[in-house]
């Protein structure tokens, strides 16, 4: 009996021997409750001791530990200004990723940690850049923060200016970052477009749809700002004065390298560098590997020489060969511009719409269509009222341009306002008895517009 009693006492002692053993699930649940209840009402001072106990004794119990933990340390750091808690904030993100990888987006967490280090000047610029670089390379799909994309690129340029990175490295990263921004913008625009179309058709959005629309438009604006900042940071590094010597220097050694030729020709084309080097690059590229890129550049050269028909042939070849959506959109834009300048507005619109099919965030396509509508006002309608009604359609196109592409939003909004001022006003609608009626267009524009009710 005495032996049984000692054995039972030993078991009980081991069961309640403090922190030497992990807590039982029920104990973790109690500790979690002690932590989350004050955390929910932002009483973080009371919550903190329970958080510290949880990460020691129940680190994998529930993801809420880290969801509230992050909010708690963000409060201490950002609202209370307690910089001593920055490392705790980083640790909270790291522990979430470590303990709940299936419920955590790695790229999002790693880029967030890198941003915290950047914002709080933790480590050297090289170390900060490495943190962003590792985050992007490990999980580019979930590295979506516009702020972090800019910091990533900005640090690279700073390191180049300090002699720690080659100029070509900067150009390579620029391509990667701009491509990522394009991807995110296109994803948002493809979700926004059906909602714009629904509104345009006169159907009211649900509350949920309106909230989603607001989010899409806001985020598109953010990415447009980031894109502008990235281009601004690149600045004079990508000017013709830098590009031409760089590529001239390497031309003889690189002229059989197709990828190098594509990149070099692409940069010179983007900057409209008027130099014999561009022709040499394109010719070498087309000789080595006739492709969408080489056909496109030959089209640009023909266009520059005033050979519109030849340019159009090359552009159509390029469009047929190109598989990259962003590049295909640029080709469709060039074809659309070719037809627009010749006055073939209907065909131009077809190509602008093709551009939107592959790149929904291409606000410039809407902008050009709106411009053509406005330019056609005098040719679409039999009465002055009908002709001026065309400006409503033109303004609607400008509104779409502003919504999907923040880089041209200012110009598009100004154009929309100008066009609406030229459209029939309330007095015109009243005197003509047109309120609520539909105006049909029998010119190349086609379609119709509903006159506003007074």
At 23, the pLDDT band (50, 70, 90 cuts) reads: low
Which pLDDT tens digit goes with each residue over 280-331?
A: 999 899 889 888 988 998 998 898 889 989 999 999 999 999 999 999 999 9
What pTM was computed for the model? 0.76
Query: At 448, is the secondary structure helix, strand, or coil?
Result: strand
> Strand pairing partners for 439?
449
Token duo for residue 424: 């029939």
Cβ atoms of 254 and 261 closer than 8 Å? yes
Pick the closest to residue 234 from 300, 175, 162, 163 (CA basis): 175
Which pLDDT tens digit goes with each residue over 32-57?
A: 999 999 999 999 999 999 999 999 99
At 351, the pLDDT band (50, 70, 90 cuts) reads: very high
Q: Across residues 256-264, what is the average pLDDT? A: 90
Cβ atoms of 151 and 115 closer than 8 Å? yes
- The per-residue pLDDT for 24 is 60
How does the average pLDDT of the chain come out, rounded?
Answer: 91
DSSP 450: E
What is the C-alpha to C-alpha distance for residues 189 and 15, in angstroms, rounded to an integer? 58
Q: What torsion do the CA atoms of 183, 186, 187, 188 make, to the nearest 10 degrees?
A: 130
Cβ atoms of 346 and 444 closer than 8 Å? yes
Pick the closest to residue 116 from 162, 158, 160, 147 (CA basis): 147
Token duo for residue 49: 């001791």
What is the C-alpha to C-alpha distance for residues 219 and 212, in angstroms, rounded to an integer? 11
What is the C-alpha to C-alpha distance for residues 448 and 222, in angstroms, rounded to an integer? 34
Pick the closest to residue 97 from 46, 44, 134 (CA basis): 134
């Amino acid at each position: 009996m005495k032996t049984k009693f000692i054995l039972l006492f030993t078991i009980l002692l081991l069961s309640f021997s403090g922190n030497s053993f992990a807590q039982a699930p029920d104990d973790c649940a109690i500790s979690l409750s002690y932590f989350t209840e004050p955390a929910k009402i932002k009483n973080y001072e009371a919550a903190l001791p329970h958080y510290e106990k949880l990460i020691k004794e129940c680190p994998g119990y529930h993801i809420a530990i880290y969801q509230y933990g992050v909010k708690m340390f963000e409060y201490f750091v950002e609202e209370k200004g307690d910089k001593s808690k920055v490392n705790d904030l980083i640790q909270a993100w790291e522990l979430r990723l470590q303990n709940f990888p299936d419920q955590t987006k790695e790229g999002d967490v790693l880029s967030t940690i890198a941003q915290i280090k950047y914002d709080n000047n933790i480590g050297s610029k090289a170390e900060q850049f490495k943190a962003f670089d590792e985050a992007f390379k490990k999980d580019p799909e979930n590295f979506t923060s516009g702020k972090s994309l800019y910091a990533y690129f900005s640090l690279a340029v700073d390191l180049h200016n300090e002699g720690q990175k080659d100029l070509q490295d900067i150009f390579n990263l620029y391509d990667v970052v701009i491509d990522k921004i394009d991807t995110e913008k296109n994803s948002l625009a493809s979700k926004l477009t059906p909602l714009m179309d629904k509104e345009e058709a006169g159907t009211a959005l649900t509350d949920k749809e309106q909230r989603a629309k607001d989010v899409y438009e806001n985020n598109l604006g953010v990415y447009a700002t980031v894109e502008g900042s990235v281009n601004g940071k690149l600045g004079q590094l990508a000017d013709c004065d830098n590009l031409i010597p760089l590529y001239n220097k390497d031309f003889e050694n690189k002229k059989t390298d197709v990828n190098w030729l594509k990149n070099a020709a692409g940069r010179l084309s983007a900057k409209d560098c008027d130099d014999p080097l561009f022709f040499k690059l394109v010719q070498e590229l087309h000789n080595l590997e006739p492709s969408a890129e080489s056909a496109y550049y030959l089209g640009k050269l023909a266009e520059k020489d005033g050979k519109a028909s030849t340019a159009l042939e090359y552009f159509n070849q390029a469009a047929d060969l190109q598989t990259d959506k962003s590049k295909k959109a640029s080709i469709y834009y060039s074809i659309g511009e070719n037809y627009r300048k010749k006055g073939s507005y209907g065909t131009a619109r077809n190509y602008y719409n093709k551009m939107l099919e592959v790149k929904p965030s291409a606000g410039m396509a809407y902008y050009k269509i709106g411009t053509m509508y406005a330019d056609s006002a005098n040719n679409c309608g039999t009465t002055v009222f009908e002709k001026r009604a065309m400006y409503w359609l033109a303004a609607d196109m400008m509104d779409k341009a502003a919504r999907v592409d923040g880089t041209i939003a200012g110009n598009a909004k100004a154009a929309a306002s100008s066009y609406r001022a030229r459209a029939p006003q309330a007095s015109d609608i009243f005197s003509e008895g047109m309120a609520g009626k539909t105006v049909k267009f029998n010119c190349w524009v086609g379609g119709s517009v509903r006159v506003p009710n007074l």
